[in-house]
Amino acid sequence: MNEKQYVNAIAKKLKCTNKRKKEIKKQLLTDIEMRVKQGEQPEEIISQMGTAAEIAADFNEDISIEEQKRYGRNKVLKIVVLIVTILILLGTLVYWAFPKPVDIEQSVYFDKQRVEEAMKETVELLDAEDYAALQESAIPKMQPLLNAEMRVSIREALGGDWGERKQFGAVYLVELVQAGRHMAVGEMTVTYENVSVTYRLTYDEEMRFAGIYVR
């Protein structure tokens, strides 16, 4: 430990204002410098002076109770401010990451009619088993999932033989904002000969197919 590290270690244990800490640090460094000029080695000086805790305790004895209390209050206040700041940052992060719905009528990213058309096109491609076109319209993460195996698993989960598609139902849309990303999410019930299926389809800002949930 050199003289600066030693003095800084003492200052950390002082129960006084920052102004007074600076004065004490300056005083200690000046004293050590004077002794070095007289031929003593820094290591010897530090060893003779005592540990940082011992020196700080000596100084703290001369610091008034009032100033020590003020130091304690300021220390607590700094901790409270730090905790509050961290909580605010965490709250902001959670708010930023949590999906927030936006009225799609007010969206600057999505056109309601275009999203409805995209949903119908997606269902038509699924029914037609046109996986190449589906993959072309989808985000990269979705592309490997858009295959015959996925279609069979969805159909089996909802009764197997759906029959021919008869009609599209009403479409319910919302824009979701999550972690700075904007997504259009729509639900639409499609009637087949043997079952009614509700599709929840998701599209990104570029209107690429980004998610599917069927019930």
**Domain ranges in the chain?**
3-96, 101-214
- Predicted TM-score (pTM) of the model is 0.58
Per cent of the chain over pLDDT 70 is 91
Look-up of token digits 């430990």: 1
Q: Identify the three-state secondary structure at position 145.
A: helix
* CB contact at 8 A, 47 and 35: no
Q: Tokens representing 206?
A: 């570029």
Least-confidence region, from 51-65, 79-93, 160-174 = 79-93
Q: Is 70 exceeded by the pLDDT of residue 182?
A: yes
DSSP H stretches of helix in the chain: 3-12, 18-37, 42-49, 52-61, 65-97, 112-128, 131-137, 148-157
Which among 164, 172, 176, 162 has a CA at the least distance from the CA of 205? 176
Q: Class for domain 101-214, per CATH?
A: alpha beta
CA dist., res. 120 & res. 80, Å (int): 55
Q: Tokens representing 58?
A: 């000596």
Higher-pLDDT residue of 133 and 73 is 133
